[in-house]
């Protein structure tokens, strides 16, 4: 019997997929739903408790009372200001190390270490529960990138490698060899929207989304879904490239249908292979 799973739920549909996977397998689950972040329609499908983001003692106490052994962090969480956070004693002790001012990877990595080394939980990635959502290698649908698009993919990979150590974002948009935008605090959808206003004439740009070097992928695996495709279509992009095996694809069938209808490609790539041969194959 699998250990009881605790879901730390941010926004979006991913917590719902985890809840459904546990229900289908008969696995016990309990959700900590962060106030102002999680979607009530998603978390109401499972036993849950609403907890504000700065109430660490409350959240950890509920997890222990529910006999949770494994924890998964799922869904985006908007980073609050210190005033919004109103940290309790345990959260304040954690933040006293200056981690609120770190990049996302530094902060999430510290949270994972605290949960495992100090609190005694095992932290697992969402992909270990939802293996079927991992991006496959190769083209997903009917549309294939041409040579120019593949060059833009390669350039996007290069840019993300060069900037990854800065812990800025997971995505970049490249059009005809020109970087239109790099993901920052606004997230991928807003990046795409911003780049739609910057698009040049001719072939549309390409969104490339990859894990950052050394990223704590259990806490923040890159994710795309129908919302990503909708934004890409509206922005006039040519397609999307993601890391095969290291990206979650929400509602792949719906995403591929939308991509085929709009004439956009979606492809899973192996960045390590690109580094070796200088191309996307």
- Give pLDDT tens digits for 198-244: 999 999 999 999 998 877 888 889 999 999 999 999 999 999 999 99
User: CA 245 to CA 136: how far, in whole Å?
Assistant: 6
User: CA 14 to CA 223: how far, in whole Å?
Assistant: 9
Q: Report whether pLDDT(272) > 70.
A: no
The predicted pLDDT at position 159 comes to: 94
Q: Residue 67 — pLDDT band, cuts 50, 70, 90?
A: very high
User: Average pLDDT, stretch 270-278?
Assistant: 53
Q: Which two tokens stand for residue 186?
A: 């606004």
What's the mean pLDDT when you consider all of the chain? 89
Return the SS3 of 164: helix
Walk across the sheet containing 48-51 and list its strands: 48-51, 29-34, 5-9, 70-74, 122-123
Higher pLDDT, 106 or 64: 64
User: CA 105 to CA 125: how far, in whole Å?
Assistant: 14
Q: Residue 105 — pLDDT band, cuts 50, 70, 90?
A: low
With 0-12 / 13-18 / 19 or more C-beta atoms within 10 angstroms meaning exposed / middle / buried, residue 226 is middle
The predicted pLDDT at position 271 comes to: 76
User: Average pLDDT, stretch 75-104?
Assistant: 73
What class does CATH assign to 134-277? alpha beta
User: Average pLDDT, stretch 195-199?
Assistant: 92
Give φ, ψ of 9 to 5 degrees: -100, 120
Higher pLDDT, 83 or 235: 235
The predicted pLDDT at position 104 comes to: 64
Cβ atoms of 35 and 159 closer than 8 Å: no
Domain residue ranges in the chain = 5-131, 134-277
The proportion of the chain whose per-residue pLDDT surpasses 90, expressed as a percent, equals 69
Q: Where are the beta strands (DSSP E) in the chain?
A: 5-9, 29-34, 48-51, 70-74, 122-123, 138-139, 171-175, 178-182, 206-209, 223-224, 239-243, 248-249, 265-269
The predicted pLDDT at position 274 comes to: 45
User: Average pLDDT, stretch 58-62?
Assistant: 94
User: Average pLDDT, stretch 52-79?
Assistant: 92
The predicted pLDDT at position 79 comes to: 74
Cβ atoms of 10 and 74 closer than 8 Å: yes
Cβ atoms of 192 and 229 closer than 8 Å: no
Q: Which fold has domain 5-131?
A: Rossmann fold (3.40.50)
Q: State the number of CA atoms in the 13 A half-sphere of 185 facing the CB.
A: 6
Q: Quick one: CA torsion of 270, 273, 278, 281, rounded to 10 degrees?
A: -70
């Amino acid at each position: 019997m699998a250990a009881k799973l605790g879901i730390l739920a941010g926004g979006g549909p991913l917590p719902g997929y985890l809840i459904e996977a546990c229900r289908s397998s008969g696995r016990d689950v309990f959700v900590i739903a962060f106030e102002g972040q999680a979607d009530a329609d998603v978390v109401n499908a499972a036993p849950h408790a609403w907890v504000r983001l700065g109430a660490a003692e409350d959240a950890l106490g509920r997890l222990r009372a529910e006999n949770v052994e494994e924890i998964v962090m799922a869904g985006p969480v908007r980073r609050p200001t210190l005033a919004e956070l109103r940290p309790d004693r345990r959260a304040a002790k954690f933040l006293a190390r200056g981690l609120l001012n770190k990049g996302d990877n530094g902060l999430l990595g510290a949270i994972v270490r605290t949960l495992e080394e100090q609190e005694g939980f095992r932290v697992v990635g969402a992909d270990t529960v939802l293996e079927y959502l991992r991006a496959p290698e190769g083209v997903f649908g009917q549309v294939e990138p041409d040579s120019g698009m593949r060059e833009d993919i390669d350039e996007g990979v290069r840019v993300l490698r060069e900037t990854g150590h800065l812990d800025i974002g997971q995505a970049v948009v490249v059009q005809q060899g020109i970087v239109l935008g790099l993901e920052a605090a606004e997230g991928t959808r807003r990046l795409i929207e911003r780049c739609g206003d910057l698009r040049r004439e001719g072939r549309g740009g390409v969104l490339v989304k990859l894990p950052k070097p050394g990223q704590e992928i259990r806490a923040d695996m890159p994710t795309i879904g129908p919302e990503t495709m909708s934004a890409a279509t509206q922005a006039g992009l040519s397609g999307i490239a993601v890391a095969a095996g290291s990206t979650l694809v929400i509602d792949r069938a719906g995403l591929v249908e939308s991509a085929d209808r709009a004439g956009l490609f979606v492809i899973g790539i192996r960045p390590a292979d690109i580094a070796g041969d200088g191309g996307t194959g």
